[in-house]
Homo-oligomer: A and B are copies of this chain.
Amino acid sequence: MNNSRFAISVHILTLLAGANGELLSSEYIAGSININPVLVRKELINLKKHGFVASKEGKNGGVYLNKSAANIRFSDVYNAVKQSSLLGEAKNEPNPLCPIGRQIKTHLNNLYTDAENAMVGQLSTTTLQNFLNQFD
């Protein structure tokens, strides 16, 4: 994860889970996170695509949770948001003439996959509802 998209998505979902079905505007959400509303709307596109939230356009519109918080695991959020490899991808193309360079991408990918699976397994143990319950 190179950017703060996971944190932003979790923040959005937590706000919505705490709103009890009430619609929240991207302006309001952005105010809580303290980022630009357009960034929130961009992130919402992705959260909608994955079925976590739905929105209502027009006046008095806004966003709401489209799935029960107890049925949203953090592994789901992670998978919805992830884009790049967990441990960072090398941008270079290793030297194919070097016996190590030639094969390292393959072996690194396997290593990364195992590491990521372990992490995702841990994330799957917590739901949005669990998370929300921690707030006073």
Please list the residues of chain A having a beta carbon within 8 angstroms of any beta carbon in chain B: 1-8, 10-11, 14-15, 18, 31-35, 74, 78, 86-95, 98-101, 103-104, 107-108, 111, 114-119, 121-123, 126, 131, 134-136
Structural contact, A31 and B95, CB atoms closer than 8 A: yes
Given A94-B32, A121-B118, A136-B99: A104 in contact with B14 (beta carbons within 8 A): yes
- Which residues from B are CB-within-8-Å of A8? 90
Q: How far is the CA of A100 from the CA of B12 in the complex (A)?
A: 10
Structural contact, B89 and A7, CB atoms closer than 8 A: yes
Which residue of chain B lies nearest to A4 when distances are taken between CB atoms in the complex? B90
Given contacts A115-B119, A115-B122, list 14 more A-B pairs with CB under 8 A.
A4-B91, A6-B88, A14-B100, A18-B100, A31-B95, A34-B92, A35-B90, A86-B119, A103-B135, A107-B131, A111-B123, A115-B123, A118-B118, A119-B122
- Which residues from B are CB-within-8-Å of A119? 86, 115-116, 118-119, 122
